[in-house]
Amino acid sequence: MAHIPLHSSGYNSRFSPPPVLAPHAPSSLLAAHAGPNKENPFPLPHSHVHTDPSKQLPGVPRVDALDPSPAPTCTPPHHRPLPPSPTKTTATATVNHYTRPLGGTARAAQQSQQAEPTMVQLLASQGTAPAHYASRAGAGDVTMGNATGVLSWRKGQGFKEWEKLKLNSPEVKRKADVAQLFFYDHYFDLLTYVSSRKSRLAAFQSSISSRPTLTPAEISCEWTSYTGRERVLLRKRRTKLKVDMFHVVTQVGQGGYGEVYLARHKETNQVVALKKMKKRTLAKMDEIRHVLVERDILASTSSPWLVRLLYAFQDPEHVFLAMDFIAGGDFRTLLNNSGVLKEEHARFYIAEMFTAVNELHKLGYIHRDLKPENFLIDTTGHIKLTDFGLAAGALNPGKIQHLKHKLDEVADSPLVFRSTLEMKSIYKSIRMADARYADSVVGSPDYMAIETLRGQSYSYGVDYWSLGCILFEFLAGFPPFSGATAEETWTNLKNWQRVLRRPHYDRPEDRIFNLSDEGWDAITRLITHKDRRMSTLDQVKTHPFFRGVDWPNLRERKAPFIPALDSEIDAGYFDDFSSETDMAKYAEVREKQRHVDAVAERALDAKLARGVWVGFTFKAKKEEDRLLREKEQREKQKSQEEEEESLYTLF
């Protein structure tokens, strides 16, 4: 029988034998590779010492060349290493060639350094500091608290200008944030899984111990069942998200870059809104960054006021965002059906919108594209904010130039003053003719702040301008700057101070729609110059128009409108994409898609479409685990009910 060596601690080591190191391995490595003992209860993982010269960079010492003196190995006395074969002479000479700068003469080292640069020189030429250099220079450990961005080995120089620009670019900052979140999520998930697995094992052992009458065969059967369930969990952790995991019920949305579907996760039965977008189209239209920002916002929020991201995944051609399905449709549908809101209802909805936008601002984002279409109504009748595609740090320069050009075009256009009834009638006619007016190619700046349109600097206040325009529409029935044509709307915005007027109705039957003094004052405190505008939620709360609003308990209050739904997959508040009438609304959007598809693809676009989506995948693990537990509980309850019913039938 072969001799099985024992560690100094006395336990059998046949399941984790230390590797036999090379004859010239230093004693420090031997200590690191030895098994656990009193001096080192947590040994480092085993590693293999590479001696192949083809795997060694020129000028970099090998691990086994750091200590030229022979050191004892961990080989048992009766297993002495054999002398090297004569056929290994050439390989040994090659190895000595690479280690000669450290073990040979000074002249040999000088010749080697002149012939090939050392790794320190290579790192310096690439702008990278070697890890050991700072400590040798006396800089000490670099931590998050004392990091200054200036490398100690380039003290006095700092980063070059191109390095600073690259470090401060939004793409690099986003990748750094995504990488940080990835590792946080990875290790949190790993530790959570290990902890939950130990808990399940303890529960299993407790269950077995509480039943002493079990036979060994029954215990073996229970153990087989337990390990089978653990294998299923492990397999799920390795499973990659695919669109095939979702059952598509119907289409509920259409945009310029993709479609939105009502879908159900096949495993958890979770109902989601599945947004599908083409990678190449996003690259052509320079919309990749907007989608990445939207993904980051959706993934980082747990607020009930914002739509949550449940899954984000991709295939070679598309990216997918699976979000909460908000069954009540968007607020535009409610406005089209109601026309003008009562002041008490307008106060309730705009208060919820202010709260939702404030939650977005807490995350450090500005929406910049607020309109009624961006607010969804959930099953309880309350508001959720969505569509964060433009919620980034800065608008696309091309977008800014386009907006400024639109304003310049109407600089000399005559200003048309219309009565309140005329403006309301014109806007209603436009909405009746084009239900997707806000999604059209030309678009409408009805709700965009004037500083955004002019390409000026802006802050969170631009969203409060937009909410002021929405409040005006709630109470008047039309946006404050809408015109009969897009050009007239731009002209009104150019002269917004002269156009913004208090709606007034003279007919007795319409006087009910006249705004109160508090309502009009709130609007003029929102639609005004940015330095005089209400731009925080605290300022809004103190305004007399919102007197009596119970801000902390808004979601507990019964909403004025609650959607009537037949089931959790009822899509009645969305357009029917199987109807030719509803599909006609999206004719311009589909034409835009065809135009984008016809644009020639550049090489850069193809490259971006492949490589820029690294780190896009996301899974809301807590939500998935909760749904799986609920599903298991429902199945268990159903099986118990069936068992009770069968027993009742028998007796």
Annotated binding site for ATP: 275
Q: Which of 64, 296, 369, 463 is catalytic?
A: 369
Q: Which of 302, 328, 386, 306 is nearest to 559 (CA)?
A: 328
Chain center to CA of 377: 23
Q: Which two tokens mark 480?
A: 């404050």
Annotated binding site: 275
Distance in angstroms (rounded) separating the CA atoms of residues 97 and 65 = 12
Distance in angstroms (rounded) separating the CA atoms of residues 204 and 209 = 9
Chain center to CA of 181: 9
Torsion over CA: 609, 612, 614, 620 (sign): negative
C-beta contacts of 6-15 below 8 A and 24+ residues apart:
7/34, 7/35, 7/36, 7/37, 8/35, 8/37, 9/35, 9/36, 9/37, 9/38
Q: What residue type is 391 in one-letter code?
A: A
Q: Catalytic residue at 369?
A: yes
Chain center to CA of 201: 34
What phi-psi label fits residue 583: left (phi over 0), alpha (psi between -120 and 50 degrees) or beta? alpha
Distance in angstroms (rounded) separating the CA atoms of residues 409 and 414 = 12
Distance in angstroms (rounded) separating the CA atoms of residues 6 and 34 = 12
Residue holding tokens 């690439």? 126
Residue 170: CB atoms within 10 A of its CB come to: 13
Distance in angstroms (rounded) separating the CA atoms of residues 449 and 461 = 9
Chain center to CA of 421: 45
In DSSP terms, 6 is beta-bridged to 12
Question: Which residues, in sequence order, are CB contacts of 641 under 8 Å at separation 6+?
Answer: none
Q: Which two tokens mark 625?
A: 């685990």
Q: Which residue numbers are catalytic?
A: 369
